[in-house]
Structure 1
């Protein structure tokens, strides 16, 4: 499979169907930073067993799911959101989608029940690629790149079907890929 689009800020990286790296198997990654020095993103469809209250103990009522953002710095927490009007901070990575912001403001919003799961997503760790690493992986057809997606995709809680949905959204050229078995050896 060859994707004509190249990685860029606000685009999705979609793993090819037979990528066996357990960190990125059937992964959908939102690119939140893309420069000559490298790329940063967050896996949107790998929910952990943790809740926000497990990693931020002072938010004892916060039952937001926490996602595995990637294998880099898994002792850090990050968030993306679509509620700039409430948080008033964050770097816009795609139309209406922001990375980070004032965590103290966010904690106050959470304590007041002023923010919902469909507005924000939390991650442990992130995905990162060195300056030429992602270019090499693109040449190896490890990733498909998409810039045609609705923001609801990013905040979807349907992580089991997200990979398939974004593949189908790429159109007929890729739709057949969505039916490939996860392990072709089981056929």
Structure 2
């Protein structure tokens, strides 16, 4: 770890991970999936954790990936590196999609996909009620806790409208600014450490 990284490594904010919280990547976390990412935790237990990256669009609509789906203009996001050939979704319509799993308040994931397809065909789903992801992010028992101890992630909360927003390329910066204090420094840190 070089001196510059030591200056900006602020450490944990002491919020515990749990279902419904978000993980905010520290500026030095590298990798295609997690660099400057915000991940919504949809499951968290002693067995491990599951979540979806909220701010990595793949620039395709869902019906471009699932050709048997009627036209539905909803961009797909990279959910994470696990099973990235599968489609997952968050939604706010549990009364219409049975077998959904509650995350918090009126935010759910999964459910009966055949019924979702019918809802889309019958134009009973609005674009702001659903978000699609290719793959998910997963951690084995204790793995996420170790990454948090290593200061790879900050744990925080976001409002449902921020989670469901598709135009969220700056959600990483906004989430850090919302944390306040010295975390605002991270929000302005250049993507390339060699740039100044």
With the shorter chain as reference, the TM-score category is over 0.9
Return the alpha-carbon distance in structure 2 between the equivalents of residues 169 and 105 of structure 1: 37
Residue in structure 2 matched with residue 51 of structure 1 by the alignment: 61
| Residue 153 of structure 1, aligned match among 162, 169, 182 | 162
Return the alpha-carbon distance in structure 2 between the equivalents of residues 135 and 88 of structure 1: 32
User: Are residue 35 (structure 1) and residue 45 (structure 2) matched?
Assistant: yes
Return the alpha-carbon distance in structure 2 between the equivalents of residues 8 and 81 of structure 1: 19
1:5-62 deviation per Cα after TM superposition (whole angstroms, max 9, x unaligned) = 1211110001011211221011010001111111100001001122211222111412
Conservation of the 8 A alpha-carbon contact between 2:87 and 2:135: yes
After superposition, the CA RMSD in angstroms is 1.4
Q: Following TM superposition, by how much is the alpha carbon of 1:141 offset from its aligned partner in structure 2, in angstroms? A: 0.3
Conservation of the 8 A alpha-carbon contact between 1:69 and 1:124: yes
Q: Following TM superposition, by how much is the alpha carbon of 1:86 offset from its aligned partner in structure 2, in angstroms? A: 2.9
Aligned length: 186
Normalised TM-score (structure 1): 0.93
Conservation of the 8 A alpha-carbon contact between 2:82 and 2:136: yes
Return the alpha-carbon distance in structure 1 between the equivalents of residues 136 and 148 of structure 2: 19
Conservation of the 8 A alpha-carbon contact between 2:70 and 2:120: no
User: Are residue 112 (structure 1) and residue 122 (structure 2) matched?
Assistant: yes
Q: Following TM superposition, by how much is the alpha carbon of 1:168 offset from its aligned partner in structure 2, in angstroms? A: 1.3
Conservation of the 8 A alpha-carbon contact between 1:18 and 1:183: no
Q: Following TM superposition, by how much is the alpha carbon of 1:167 offset from its aligned partner in structure 2, in angstroms? A: 1.2
Return the alpha-carbon distance in structure 1 between the equivalents of residues 111 and 64 of structure 2: 20
Residue in structure 1 matched with residue 190 of structure 2 by the alignment: 181
Q: Following TM superposition, by how much is the alpha carbon of 1:132 offset from its aligned partner in structure 2, in angstroms? A: 1.8
1:87-121 deviation per Cα after TM superposition (whole angstroms, max 9, x unaligned) = 24411112211011111111111112221221110
Secondary structure at the aligned position of 2:194 is classed as helix
Return the alpha-carbon distance in structure 2 between the equivalents of residues 173 and 152 of structure 1: 25
Normalised TM-score (structure 2): 0.89
